């Protein structure tokens, strides 16, 4: 198939492009390098060094014999979006190209507005381009389990059957997002659902849990093919942070009581889930929702798992939670649809965590401990982080 990967220079977009290419698909990569710009703004960097996209693409052709088409531009530019679709003529579009950090979206008003404008407008431009050019294109959109929040009932996959005053209907599952970033994803989901109803588009929303892992069969073929490893307080993930802290001898910092429970997913399963969605498209007019995770863990459980896997002494400490969230809550989310399509999960084992710890050891000299400190507080309208108006504007990121 012809698959266009939006955000194909990013943490998940790049290995997804390589994975699909290696499996015989014709792949196009779209990016505007906004993610690299966030590093410059925040003064941080990926723990594992990454080369520029052009060098990545050249190395992939050299190593695999497969070519990747590249399109450099911004999804908030409707002309660029329409032109890219017309040139590449995809059968499916995998949409990763959004600002994806909750803390980044909560820094201040400027970052909240940027996140929502960038994400929602870019997605709207994409929906219009598909509707105008080829309504058979299957949109596979990266959502997030964070759209649901932490309700005191089971979380279903996108829809819930409601009986009210004697009448029953299947309705979109209620959303309780926890940041302006998560809100942008909710807006995306509503817009895609609406577009499917009015234009007959095909779409699959992948409500993804927290992804861990940095190496895939393709990225380990050459150092130039490596993808990101983020551990900082704005873009880093909790498991990455714990692994970095363990290696450098810093206490594992658990926010609050550590009872926050989230769905987790190995990066290898992300790639498989995307291809399963691409190969099994939604029907015309269908807005499908898959909860894309394989296991659930609390923050405290993850800290304990890292401490147990680490060869040495590890201290676990509690720090005030900078977020506004339930620190202890019920969490039981359905995630059967991708399993039904054939997903074979890679689970979070001691060996997997040791592999992450080894990656940190290999690049220990690049660790910036100051970058791990949480600087963004949900209850404040402006962060203590000094940005000096350096946020990218909505017209320069996709």
d(CA 152, CA 155): 9
For tokens 């040139």, what's the residue? Answer: 87
List helix spans (H) across the chain.
13-22, 34-42, 53-64, 78-88, 102-105, 109-116, 122-133, 180-199, 238-248, 267-279, 299-309, 337-340, 350-362
Residues 6+ apart with CB under 8 A from 157: 207, 289, 290, 291, 334, 335, 336, 337
181 is catalytic: yes
- Please tell me the predicted confidence (pLDDT) of residue 374: 95
The answer to whether 16 is a known catalytic residue is no
Q: Residue 202: what are its φ and ψ, rounded to 5°?
A: -105, 130
User: In this predicted structure, what is the pLDDT of residue 17?
Assistant: 98
Name which of 324, 331, 287 is nearest 148 in CA terms: 331
Residues 265, 33: Cα–Cα separation, whole Å: 25
User: Which CATH superfamily is 2-372 part of?
Assistant: NAD(P)-binding Rossmann-like Domain (3.40.50.720)
- Angstrom CA distances, 77 to 27, 36, 117, 129, 396, stand at 21, 19, 12, 11, 9
Question: Greatest CA separation found in the chain?
Answer: 64
84, 144, 237, 375: the catalytic one is 144
- CA distances to 10, 95, 103, 292 from 271, rounded to whole Å, are 13, 13, 25, 11
165 burial via Cβ count (<10 Å: 0-12, 13-18, 19+): exposed
Find the angle CA(312)-CA(210)-CA(355) to the nearest 5 degrees: 35
Residue 68 to residues 27, 60, 65, 96, 371, Cα–Cα distance (Å):
6, 8, 10, 17, 34
Q: Is 389 left (phi over 0), alpha (psi -120 to 50) or beta?
A: left
d(CA 231, CA 237): 6
Known catalytic residue: 61? no
Task: Enumerate the domain spans of the chain.
Answer: 2-372
Q: What is the pLDDT of residue 383?
A: 45
Q: Mind listing the pLDDT tens digit of every residue in the chain (398 residues)? A: 999 999 999 999 999 999 999 999 999 999 999 999 999 999 999 999 999 999 999 999 999 999 999 999 999 999 999 999 999 999 999 999 999 999 999 999 999 999 999 999 999 999 999 999 999 999 999 999 999 999 999 999 999 999 999 999 999 999 999 999 999 999 999 999 999 999 999 999 999 999 999 999 999 999 999 999 999 999 999 999 999 999 999 999 999 999 999 999 999 999 999 999 999 999 999 999 999 999 999 999 999 999 999 999 999 999 999 999 999 999 999 999 999 999 999 999 999 999 999 999 999 999 999 999 999 999 999 744 444 444 454 333 33
Sole residue written with tokens 């987790």 = 264
pLDDT at 384: 45
Q: Which of 114, 148, 181, 231 is catalytic?
A: 181
Residue 233 DSSP one-character state: T
pTM: 0.95
Which one is catalytic: 185, 216, 270, 331? 185
pLDDT value of residue 157: 98
């Amino acid at each position: 198939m012809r698959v266009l990967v939006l955000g194909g220079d990013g943490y998940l977009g790049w290995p997804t492009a390589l994975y699909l290419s290696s499996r015989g698909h014709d792949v196009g990569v779209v990016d505007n390098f906004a993610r690299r710009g966030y590093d410059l703004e925040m003064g941080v960097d990926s723990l594992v060094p990454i080369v520029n996209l052009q060098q990545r693409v050249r190395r992939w052709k050299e190593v695999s014999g497969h070519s990747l088409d590249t399109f450099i531009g911004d999804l908030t530019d409707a002309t660029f979006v329409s032109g890219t679709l017309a040139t590449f003529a995809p059968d499916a579009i995998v949409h990763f190209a959004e600002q994806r950090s909750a803390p980044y979206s909560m820094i201040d008003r400027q970052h909240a507005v940027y996140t929502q404008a960038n994400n929602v407008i870019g997605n709207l431009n994409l929906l219009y381009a598909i509707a105008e050019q080829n309504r058979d294109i299957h949109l596979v959109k990266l959502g997030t389990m964070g759209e649901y929040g932490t309700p005191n009932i089971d979380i279903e996959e996108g829809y819930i059957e409601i009986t009210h005053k004697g009448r029953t209907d299947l309705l979109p599952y209620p959303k309780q997002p926890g940041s302006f970033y998560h809100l942008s994803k909710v807006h995306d989901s509503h817009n895609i659902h609406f577009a499917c109803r009015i234009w007959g588009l095909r779409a699959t929303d992948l409500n993804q849990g927290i992804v861990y892992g940095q190496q895939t069969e393709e990225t380990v073929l050459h150092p130039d093919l490596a993808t990101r490893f983020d551990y900082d307080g704005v873009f880093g993930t909790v498991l990455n942070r714990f692994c970095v802290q363990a290696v450098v001898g810093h206490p594992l910092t658990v926010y609050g009581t550590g009872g926050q429970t989230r769905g987790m997913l190995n990066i290898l399963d992300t790639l498989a889930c995307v291809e399963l969605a691409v190969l099994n498209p939604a029907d015309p007019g269908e807005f499908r929702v898959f909860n894309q995770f394989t296991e659930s863990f609390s923050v405290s459980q993850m800290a304990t798992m890292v401490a147990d896997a680490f060869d040495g002494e590890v201290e676990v400490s509690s720090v005030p939670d900078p977020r506004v969230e339930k620190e202890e809550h019920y969490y039981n989310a359905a995630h059967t649809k991708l399993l039904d399509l054939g997903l074979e999960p890679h689970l979070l084992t001691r060996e997997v965590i040791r592999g992450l710890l080894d990656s940190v050891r290999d690049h220990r000299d690049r660790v910036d401990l100051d970058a791990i400190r949480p600087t963004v507080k949900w209850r404040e309208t402006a962060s203590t982080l000094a940005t000096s108006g350096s946020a990218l504007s909505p017209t320069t990121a996709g």
